[in-house]
Amino acid sequence: LQSALDLSQSAVSRLLSSVRGSDPLATLASIPGPEALHSMLRGAARSRIEADTLAALKAAVADFEHFIAADIGDRGALEALLSEWAQESRPAFEARHKAAAFKAMSALRGVKADLVLNAGIIVPSREAGRFSSIGVDALIGCRRLRPSGVLRTFGSTFVPEGAPYRITSLAGEPVESVADLLLADFSTVDAARIQTTHHDHVMETSIAALPLGAAEPRGHELVWAQLLDGLHRAHRGDGPPTSGVGGQAEPPCELCVVDAWLYDGVWPDAVPELRLFDTVVRGLAHPDDPSRRGDRIEMLESVQSLGRGPLGFRLPEYPRYAELMEALCRRCDIDPARLRGFRAKVRHPLYGSQIGLAFELPA
């Protein structure tokens, strides 16, 4: 068929898939585009297909093009529509459009990262009824795509007066900038190169002069950790029904990973729900805020159980992750064998989206 119709292997594969089944939605989802269909017509004419068959084929292609132009708009709109009506087409649809969005945003922002990692190790707190979290943030493979590109991240260590938690470095010291939290053994960016600007409660971190293009084999790595002492409630009480770990897809990245590691006794029967939010207009969202339900992003990503202990620390996209987690466990006197983990891994996350693992709190 490739030779007779002068089509690529991919076009032939899609053509065969589209005509095998009896479901018209499946046919629409897999049929090649107009260019490939016209190539098929030319190849069929050269192969001396019977005139009546060729005429019927031309009429069918013309009807298909008219249907798209008159009733749908274009092929992209058809694919968006079919992503909900023909569920088997949805994974490829999401992957293709997320990759295109990543490519566009990284070019426009002028910076990108191979991996954005957010992990939380949740352990019992000294205060009854509370759990603490060791928050880990890592930006791996950071580089510029444009000479003017600057890496910027935003965070906050603000704690409302009277709040039952506090945010410090792992040593218990106050935090003025990411430089105070930097894990030097795992970072290739010197603290002196990190610029911090405070806007009320928001802390802006800027890093310029990242590797440009592919001139350097590896992009820069920036890893930091903080202690959020007493941040989580052990039980529901009068507050929201969930608590958990989350992160943001910032800067534009190839992959975003959010890990939650629970120590023995921390929400022992809970299994997290993945919740994705659009933060572009209204900022970070609490997953239980009813006013933010309209900002939920429904995609096919799921939660993976990592099991118990340090064997679950493996992350192929960041070979030093296990070393990092074991170093943090030693520093904070945590037995890694008593941790159970959960992971959300999102490839080409939407820039500006919030990715969270929400655990339902026990009554």
In tens digits, the chain (363 residues) has pLDDT values of: 888 888 899 999 989 988 887 788 888 888 888 888 999 999 989 988 899 999 999 999 999 999 999 999 998 899 999 888 888 889 999 999 999 999 999 999 999 999 999 999 999 998 899 999 999 999 999 999 999 999 999 888 888 888 889 999 999 999 999 999 999 999 999 888 999 999 988 899 999 889 998 777 789 999 999 999 999 999 998 889 999 999 999 999 999 999 999 999 999 999 999 999 999 888 889 889 999 999 999 999 999 999 999 999 999 999 999 999 999 999 999 999 999 999 999 999 999 899 999 999 998
Q: At 140, give phi and psi (nearest 5°).
A: -115, 135
Alpha helices by DSSP H, listed for the chain, are: 2-5, 9-20, 24-30, 34-46, 51-67, 75-85, 90-109, 321-331
Please state whether beta strands 242-248 and 202-207 pair in parallel, antiparallel, or not at all (unpaired). Answer: unpaired
Residues 6+ apart with CB under 8 A from 91: 300
Model pLDDT, residue 19: 87
Dihedrals phi, psi of 327, to nearest 5 degrees? -65, -40
Q: What is the predicted pLDDT for the residue at 333?
A: 96
**Is-above-0.75 flag for pTM?**
yes
Give the three-state DSSP class for 230.
Answer: strand
* DSSP-derived 3-state class of residue 323: helix
**What Rg do the C-alpha atoms of the chain give, in angstroms?**
25
Is 140 in contact with 220 (CB distance < 8 Å)? no
Number of H helices, E strands in the chain: 8, 13
Nearest to 166 by CA among 230, 234, 233, 87: 230
